[in-house]
């Protein structure tokens, strides 16, 4: 039985959430908090297996509560957002950077269309995130500014015969914070485009792009079908659409999910392999499951270079581990060193 703490300043919302979660035989709601401060106290006293967290609350909001819980009494946190308000969605994405594992919209009332699917998604996400082993976070420090790291010692990345022309990235659970770390560490003048597949709930994709655009030195935006990727631009797959590269243009597809995912990192990596082969770099970051492994294997077989985030710095090491097990990875790299390794890939071999 997984023990859940529900945090929301609305009594109606708490009643709805506790009803949805309590109907599942594997979950037990052991506490309810109406504020961030109360959530912090109950997290210490109850030590729940997972916490559902509202973000917009008076006093200590959900973002600050998430940050403090992860610093003091770490537990898996699922952000449950109130709706479509851009400020609410942006707050939810910032909570992912503070240590929350996933973000969902609150289920609508039982009489609303789609309620059963939304309730099932909430229950499934809570159960899945409860399995993640979380660790105490150090208090956050302001990101430093500067030109970013240079290439690692030794010049070009393993003597690549061709400088990279594009970087493709795949990520899932824990990915927003990892992406921010990498983008903040890259040089200000990145000479190649960066294409990203991040598994995220529909509605939060635009907020993620806006947050990364505002908090990193690179231009970040959601992908548009047919656009030509530009150097120094980070293009993120919209939720619910496969992102790929066709010739020199971005291609969005509504095809069936691959291994349960749309967008799929495997779709992105495979398309980049076909379009650019040895002129591309694939990067697989923290996440559950095995999405990306098959696509990275195709990329590596065409001469591309593949980097994987190391297990110690992953929130969930499943996706990098699957790529390593498939023989699709050239080098496993700690998160703090990935920006330098990526930058080395567009440095011509000596």
Question: What does each of the 350 residues of the chain score in pLDDT, given as a tens digit?
Answer: 999 999 999 999 999 999 999 999 999 999 999 999 999 999 999 999 999 999 999 999 999 999 999 999 999 999 998 766 777 788 899 999 999 999 999 998 888 888 999 999 999 999 999 999 988 877 655 444 444 444 444 334 444 557 899 999 999 999 999 999 999 999 888 999 999 999 999 889 999 999 999 999 999 999 999 999 999 999 999 999 999 999 999 999 999 999 899 999 999 999 999 999 999 999 999 999 999 999 999 999 999 999 999 999 999 999 999 999 999 999 999 999 999 999 999 875 54
Q: Which of 318, 278, 271 is nearest to 300 (CA)?
A: 278
- Could you tell me if 287 and 189 lie in one domain? yes
| H or E element in which residue 175 lies | helix 175-185
Catalytic-residue membership of 81: no
Could you give the CA distance from residue 8 to residue 52 in angstroms, rounded to a whole number? 8
- 101 and 59 in one domain? yes
242 is catalytic: no
Measured CA distances, 122 to 41, 108, 135, 172 (Å): 24, 11, 23, 17
Same domain, 207 and 102: no
pLDDT tens sequence across 144-194:
444 444 444 433 444 455 789 999 999 999 999 999 999 999 988 899 999
Do 102 and 161 belong to one domain? no
Residues in the chain: 350
**Catalytic residue among 73, 91, 162, 199, which?**
199
Instruction: Catalytic residue, from 8, 9, 205, 291: name it.
Output: 291
Fill in the DSSP letter of residue 261. B
Residue 190 DSSP one-character state: -
Counting the structural domains of the chain, the total is 2
* Residue 346: per-residue pLDDT: 86
Give the pTM: 0.90
Structure tokens that stand for 264 in this block:
């799929």
Q: Tell me, yes or no, if 172 is annotated catalytic.
A: yes
Does residue 93 sit in the same domain as residue 197? Answer: no
User: 303's torsion region: left (phi>0), alpha (psi -120 to 50) or beta?
Assistant: left
**Domain of 99: which CATH number?**
3.40.50.2300
Does residue 122 share a domain with residue 202? no
Say which of 34, 35, 81, 172 is annotated catalytic.
172
pLDDT at 135: 84
Residues 27 and 97 in one domain: yes
Q: Which domain holds residue 65?
A: 2-130
Q: Helices 86-98 and 205-215 sit at what angle, rounded to 10 degrees?
A: 70
Q: Are 176 and 97 in contact (CB under 8 A)?
A: yes
Instruction: Please tell me the predicted confidence (pLDDT) of residue 83.
Output: 66
Can you tell me the distance from the alpha carbon of 265 to that of 292, in angstroms, rounded to the nearest whole number? 5
Indicate if 124 and 13 belong to the same structural domain: yes
230 and 184 within one domain:
yes
């Amino acid at each position: 039985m997984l023990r859940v703490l529900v945090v929301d300043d609305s009594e109606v919302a708490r009643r709805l959430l506790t009803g949805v979660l309590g109907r599942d035989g594997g979950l037990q709601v052991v506490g309810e908090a109406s504020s961030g401060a109360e959530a912090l106290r109950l997290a210490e006293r109850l030590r729940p297996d997972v916490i559902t967290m509202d973000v917009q609350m008076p006093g200590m909001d959900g973002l600050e509560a998430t940050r403090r819980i992860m610093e003091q009494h770490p537990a898996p946190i699922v952000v449950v957002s109130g709706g479509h308000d851009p400020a609410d969605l942006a707050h939810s994405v910032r909570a992912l950077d503070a240590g929350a594992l996933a973000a969902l919209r609150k289920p609508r009332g039982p009489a609303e269309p789609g309620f059963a699917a939304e309730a099932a998604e909430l229950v499934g996400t809570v159960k899945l995130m409860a399995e993640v082993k979380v660790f105490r976070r150090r208090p956050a420090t302001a990101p430093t500014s500067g030109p970013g790291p240079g290439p690692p010692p030794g010049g070009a990345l393993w003597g690549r015969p061709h400088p990279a022309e594009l970087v493709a990235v795949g990520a899932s659970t824990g990915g927003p914070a990892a992406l921010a770390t990498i983008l903040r560490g890259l040089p200000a003048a990145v000479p190649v485009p960066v294409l990203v597949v991040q598994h995220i709930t529909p509605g939060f994709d635009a907020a993620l792009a806006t947050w990364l655009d505002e908090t990193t030195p690179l231009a970040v935006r959601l992908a548009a079908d047919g656009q030509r990727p530009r150097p120094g631009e980070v293009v993120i797959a919209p939720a619910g659409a496969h992102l790929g590269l066709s010739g020199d243009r971005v291609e969005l597809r509504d095809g069936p999910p691959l291994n349960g995912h749309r967008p799929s990192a495997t779709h992105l990596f495979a398309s980049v392999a076909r379009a650019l082969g040895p002129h591309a770099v694939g990067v697989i970051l923290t996440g559950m499951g095995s999405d990306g492994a098959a696509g990275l294997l195709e990329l590596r077989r065409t001469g591309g270079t593949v980097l994987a985030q190391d297990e110690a710095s992953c929130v969930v090491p499943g996706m990098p581990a699957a790529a390593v097990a498939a023989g699709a990875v050239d080098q496993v790299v700690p998160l703090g060193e990935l920006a330098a390794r990526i930058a080395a890939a567009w440095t011509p071999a000596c």
